[in-house]
Amino acid sequence: MYKTHLLGRASIIVCTSEVCRQVLCDEEKFKPSLPRSITLLSGRKSLMQVFKAEHRRLRRLTTAPISGHSALEMYINHIEQTVISGLEEWASMKRPIELLTEIKKLTFKIIWNIFMGSSSIDSSIGEIEALFAKITLGFISLPINLPGFSFYKSLKARKELLTILQSIINQKRMAKKREGEGWEAKDMMDLLIELKDEDGEELDDETIRDLIFGKLFAGHETTAYTAMWAVLFLTNHPHILQKAKEEQEDIIKRRPTTQKGLILSEVKQMKFLYQVIDETLRAACITFMVFREAVVDVEINVLFNFVATPGVFTPFGLGSRYCPGSDLAKLEISIFLHYFLLNYKVEQLDPKCQKTCLPFPHPKDKGLARVHKLE
């Protein structure tokens, strides 16, 4: 443990697995306490900020639409088609691509359609993804809300995004009212609009906006970084790539001739690929810190450093705040790697490129590479 200052706050870095487990799991002594920049940008109803009873309520209500068996089955076809189209496009390009940039576009397209479906909006998905990129920069900046500063630009981008989300909520509520009993949920926002708690109360618009915003961010940013690192690690370790590829080929061989595309039971057979994903999460350490504040005995913030914690695997956190979207994230990465392993290879232009750590660890050239389709 040692003291420092992060984003303008006195903090303690915790590096031993025992203390980290206590900090993450003991909600009687520690509560979430994010830097002010993240607090203002994430929204007061996001799962990152709500505490105790409200956190348990929202988590309980939203788990099934994110990671329930039926929900995951509903998402597979869309993920699959988007991945196939994206990989084909990359391989057709005559120039090298930034793997990270292209995978982020791909994962955002996937997660947007999972959450929003085919909602009619004036902005393109590319424009919305650009808004998220601006917001992300504000997460690691000082909260100075003046023109020219990153935080100012991030707040402005968040306001634009919330306007878009509210417009979609309005459209969906009108469609539900118009169609009456014939209305059927087709995406995650539909499911959230339809949700009712034990008292029969629906989620208000602010809660839906903040929940969707948080899940859109978590659902494409960290997933994209993990997928990029998995591709690079596999490319640089051919014997592991070959073993992972053989597992995918074996799944295809056992498939009935009448079946078209992946099904959830096949994804669950990808034991070795899941080990590859877990090792990628461990080695790349995408999410390298979370914030907690001690509510008794001490008055300073506690920061859990994933990178420096030996002998513990915690890429999705621990305790009651374990990432509710972990199954969806792994499903998305598994489908992406399935088609990559079977049909493509990557030629990295600078395998020894230096790494930078903000906002998440990645090569400085963003994984500049050529994607080739296998014969």
CA distance 253 to 247: 10
Which of 203, 213, 234, 223 has the alpha carbon at shortest distance from 346?
234
Pick from 280, 276, 273: nearest CA to 315: 280
Say if domain 2-373 classifies as CATH 1.10.10.60. Answer: no
- Weakly modelled stretches of the chain, pLDDT under 50: 300
Quick one: pLDDT at residue 300? 45
Kindly state the helix (H) or strand (E) to which residue 363 belongs, with its residue range.
strand 362-363
Q: State the pLDDT at residue 25.
A: 79
Cross-strand pairs, 4: 11
Given a contact cutoff of 8 angstroms between Cβ atoms, the answer to whether 165 and 174 are in contact is: no
Domain assignments of the chain as residue spans, ordered by start:
2-373
Q: Note the pTM of the prediction, 2 decimals.
A: 0.86
- Please return the burial class of 360, using the count of CB atoms within 10 Å of its CB with bins 0-12, 13-18 and 19+: buried
Amino acid in the structure at residue 226: T
Q: Which helix H or strand E contains 141, and what residues bound it? A: none
What is the C-alpha to C-alpha distance for residues 63 and 238, in angstroms, rounded to an integer? 37
Report DSSP letters for 61-109, one per residue: HHHHHHH-HHHHHHHHHHHHHHHHHHHHHHHH-SS-EEHHHHHHHHHHH
pLDDT digits (tens, 9 = 90+) for 110-126: 988 888 876 656 668 88
